[in-house]
Amino acid sequence: MSSGRSARLAERGPTGRYPEVPGPVPQTPKLTLRDRISGWDVKFSPYVYIAPFFILFGLVGLFPLLYTGYVSLFDWDLLDETHKFIGFNNYIDLFQDDQFYTTLVNTLSIFLLSSVPQIIIAVLLAALLNTNLRAPTGWRIGVLLPYVASLVALGIIFANLFGPNYGLVNGFLELVGLDRIDWQASRFASHIAIAVMINWRWTGYNALIVLAAMQAIPKDVYEAALIDGASAFRRLVSITLPLLRPTLIFVVMTSTIGGLQVFTEPKLFDSMPGSNNGGSSNQFQTVTLYLYQTGFESQHLGYASAIAWVLFLVIIVIAVINFLLTRRLAGTGEKK
């Protein structure tokens, strides 16, 4: 490490001479060792400082992701030392795998049920928080509170609340004269319950991000609209939403990338705890849960890698679609 050595050298005394700062000393053609070290320090230190991120990302982020593609071409079992190359057979199997389609539909369904209401409620909540409140920080902290819950704790608590027999939600439904719902057994009901969990944890967090963007909108824009007689709804649609567009794109993209990899919530929601099935007939198994089950319960690492790669492509496609959609919806298309 050049910077470490030069740090020790520099302690001996002030150098004050390095190429970028015009010093009182005229540049002589003959550089001293100290000058040269200082020059190297300026030149190479930045690369040394950013290196840890790039090295670590390469080793534990990018390389494993690419190597997943390689593993997916093998019949690769966890405990078996020999790996047989089978080309695209894992993918051929995957595209004929009913369970994979079930998990894909589940993932998309849970994703839609969680992201769409979440973003709408987050914008409305941000609008409420953007009024002239007493103790604004207190309200903001309160809204963010669910964010501290770990996904595991959350999954356990909500599995209890949505329990089929003694769950509080069913108790409440009965109290108001509705039928109880078997939240774990019914496919659609289980998706709703899992979406409620996700929304509960993330809505406040996203509302704060939207609120920050709202507060960055200049006040005089609203005043001008008020003078023109624009209603509150009109102001929201014609001023706030278009100006929030970059932020909404950010929120939608992060919730897309995270939401399509949902794992912990469905795993903990199972009425057979510890199971990776996502319900008795996989009714709420997500793709990532299926990936985990295939790789680490059934120990078919090759097939699980194929699932990972296909999910990766699905995420890219949906992220691009959502990007275009948000850009169009949250704005009339005028240049900013």
Partner 1 sequence: MTGLRRARFWVYGLLAAFIIGSVFPFYWSFLVASRDSGMMTQKVPPLLPGGNFFANAARVFDTVPFWRALGNSVIVSGTVTISTVLLCTLAGFAFAKLRFRGRNGLFLFVIATLAVPTQLGIIPLYIAMADFGWAGHLPAVIIPNLVSAIGVFWMRQYLVSALPDELIEAARMDGCSMLRVFWHVALPASRPAAAFLGMFTFMMSWNDFLWPLVVLDPENPTVQLALERLQSGYYVDYSLVLAGTTLATIPILVVFVLLGRQIVAGIMAGAVKG
Segment near partner 1 (CB under 8 A); pick from 91-99, 112-120, 159-167, 185-193: 159-167
Instruction: Give how far Cα 188 sits from Cα of 88, 110, 305, Å.
Output: 34, 9, 28
Which CB atom, from 119 or from 213, has the smaller least distance to partner 1? 213
Contact with partner 1 (CB under 8 A): which of 116, 222, 238, 242? 222
Least separation in angstroms between CB 296 and partner 1: 6
- Count, residues near partner 1 per rule CB under 8 A: 117
225-254 footprint of partner 1 as x/- string (CB under 8 A): -x-----x--x-----------x--x--x-
CB of 319 to partner 1, least distance (A): 7
Structure tokens at 77: 């079992």
Using only C-alpha atoms, the chain has a radius of gyration, in whole angstroms, of 27
Q: Report how far Cα 255 is from the mean position of its chain's Cα atoms.
A: 5
Contacts 24+ apart (CB under 8 A), 55-64: none
Q: Does residue number 212 form part of the binding site for partner 1 (CB under 8 A)? A: yes
Binding test (CB under 8 A) with partner 1, winner from 86, 205, 242, 327: 205
Applying the rule CB under 8 A, the residues between 172 and 201 that interact with partner 1 are 200
Residue written as token pair 């995957």: 94
Is position 91 an interface residue for partner 1 (rule: CB under 8 A)? no
**DSSP per residue over 84-101, as a string?**
EE-TTHHHHHHHT-HHHH
User: Which positions ≥6 away from 322 have C-beta within 8 Å?
Assistant: 252, 253, 256
- Over the window 311 to 330, marking each residue x when it contacts partner 1 by CB under 8 A and - when it does not, the resulting string is xx--x---x-----------
- 175 or 333: CB nearest partner 1: 175
Q: Could you give the CA distance from residue 130 to residue 54 in angstroms, rounded to a whole number?
A: 39
Report the distance separating Cα 2 and Cα 44, nearest Å. Answer: 8
Residues 68 to 87: which contact partner 1 by CB under 8 A?
68, 70-71
- For residues 94 and 294, what is the distance between their CA atoms, to the nearest angstrom? 12
Name which of residues 92 to 151 contact partner 1 (CB under 8 A): 125, 127-134, 137, 139-151
CA distance 105 to 241: 30
Give the per-residue contact string, 7-46, with partner 1 (x = CB under 8 A; - = no). x-xx--xxxx-x-xx-x--------------x--xxx-xx
Residue numbers 41-70 binding partner 1 by CB under 8 A:
41-43, 45-47, 49-50, 52-54, 56-57, 60-65, 67-68, 70
Nearer to partner 1, 106 or 247 (CB): 247
Tell me how far CA of residue 81 lies from CA of 76, 189, 293, 303, in angstroms.
8, 43, 20, 16
Site for partner 1 in 251-280 (CB under 8 A): 253, 257, 260-261, 263-264, 267-268, 273-274
DSSP 74: E
- 195 touches 110 (CB < 8 A): yes
In the complex, minimum distance from the CB of residue 83 to partner 1, in angstroms, rounded to a whole number: 10
Q: Which stretch binds partner 1 (CB under 8 A): 85-93, 101-109, 185-193, 286-294?
A: 286-294
